């Protein structure tokens, strides 16, 4: 049985690997399939697919969308969506704009707190993507404002800390619909990080089809817990490392054991979504 990794970031969000490097690394690790899941971006997919063809690695198109419920961030993964569709791409531009506006306020706040940020230097850490909080945390380490990325988040950037600035809120229900409309399979990312199990029934009602049971932050008990929830709600199980290259210390790709058979279930879910879209378009015509 082959191994896969369905949650990986590239330089098109807050990872440090190019899409080509991701695929090359996957080859070295003997993975049979990977998914590129950048935050609110699909710019790495085509490059990864091309490299995948060369090296014989299956590349699943994916995206990770940031959404909010109250003060909590809920991340929704979308797999196999029609990532070239114009309507979807313009939505992504809008979500990136939200992050850009948040960043302006965040940098102003850091300055007020005595941590001046040179925008040119910061931009060098994210040459191909919108700046994320992870890039800002790395910059803070580089400047000696904090000792570690963890400290940057725990002392300054996390909700409730002095440099936390809210983004305009995006609803997970709206994003689940958007992914379904775009032909994708919506999956709840790293549920243990958001700790909002109470929302799962509502998300399922909105069309959620899967849950990321295997993740680098999940231990055996967490895996058992979410496997049970998956069974209870008829959700498919997915998994991935959430590798950010060198941006979070350890290179996580392939460190989470995810069996290939998960991909077969994901493909069945994709076929269901496409079938529904076909039915609807027949009704309309
Ligand atoms: P943003 O979407 O711009 O708010 O940036 C959030 C990103 O920062 C996430 O995608 C994570 O990669 C990273 N991040 C969030 N919290 C932490 C944390 N406590 N430690 C390390 N990285 C984090
Ligand atoms: Mn990230
Ligand atoms: Mn996430
Ligand atoms: Mn992620």
pLDDT of residue 32: 98
Residue 284 Cα to ligand 2 midpoint, Å, equals: 39
User: How does pLDDT run across 183-240, given as a tens digit for each residue?
Assistant: 999 999 999 999 999 999 999 999 999 999 999 999 999 999 999 999 999 999 999 9
CB neighbour class for 217 (10 Å; exposed up to 12, middle 13-18, buried from 19): exposed
Please say if the pLDDT value at position 283 is more than 80: no
User: In the numeric block, which tokens belong to residue 177?
Assistant: 């619909």
- Alpha carbon nearest to ligand 1 atom 16, residue: 153
Atom of ligand 1 nearest to the CA of 99: 3
pTM greater than 0.75 (yes/no) = yes
From residue 59, give the alpha-carbon distance in Å to each of 31, 39, 62, 139, 270: 11, 17, 9, 31, 15
User: How does pLDDT run across 2-56, given as a tens digit for each residue?
Assistant: 999 999 999 999 999 999 999 999 999 999 999 999 999 999 999 999 999 999 9
User: How does pLDDT run across 48-92, given as a tens digit for each residue?
Assistant: 999 999 999 999 999 999 999 998 999 999 999 999 999 999 999
Separation of alpha carbons 53 and 115, rounded Å: 45
What three-state secondary structure class fits 60?
strand
Residue 285 Cα to ligand 4 midpoint, Å, equals: 39
- Alpha carbon nearest to ligand 1 atom 2, residue: 132
- Alpha carbon nearest to ligand 1 atom 12, residue: 134
Separation of alpha carbons 245 and 26, rounded Å: 12
């Amino acid at each position: 049985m082959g191994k896969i990794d369905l949650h990986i970031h590239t330089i098109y969000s807050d990872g440090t690997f190019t899409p080509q490097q991701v695929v090359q690394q996957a080859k070295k690790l003997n993975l049979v399939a990977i998914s590129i899941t950048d935050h609110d971006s699909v710019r790495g997919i085509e490059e990864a697919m091309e490299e995948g063809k060369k090296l014989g690695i299956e590349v699943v198109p994916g995206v990770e969308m940031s959404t909010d419920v109250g003060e909590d961030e809920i991340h929704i993964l979308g797999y196999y969506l029609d990532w070239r569709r114009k309507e979807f791409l313009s939505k992504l531009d809008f979500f990136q704009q939200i992050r850009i506006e948040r960043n302006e306020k965040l940098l102003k706040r850091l300055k007020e707190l005595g941590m001046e940020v040179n925008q040119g230097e910061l931009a060098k850490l994210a040459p191909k993507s919108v700046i994320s909080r992870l890039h800002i945390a790395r910059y803070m380490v580089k400047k000696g404002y904090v000792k570690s990325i963890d400290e940057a988040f725990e002392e300054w950037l996390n909700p409730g800390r002095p440099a936390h600035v809210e983004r305009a809120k995006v609803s997970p229900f709206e994003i689940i619909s958007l992914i379904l409309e775009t032909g994708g399979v919506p999956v709840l990312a790293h549920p243990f990080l958001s700790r909002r199990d109470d929302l799962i029934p509502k998300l399922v009602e909105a069309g959620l089809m899967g849950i990321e049971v295997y993740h680098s932050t999940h231990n055996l008990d967490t895996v058992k817990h979410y496997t049970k929830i998956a069974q209870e709600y008829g959700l498919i199980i997915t998994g991935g490392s959430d590798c950010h290259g060198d941006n979070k210390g350890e290179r996580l790709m392939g460190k989470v054991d995810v069996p290939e058979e998960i991909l077969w279930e994901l493909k069945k879910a994709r076929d269901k979504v496409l079938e529904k879209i076909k039915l609807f378009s027949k009704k309309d015509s």
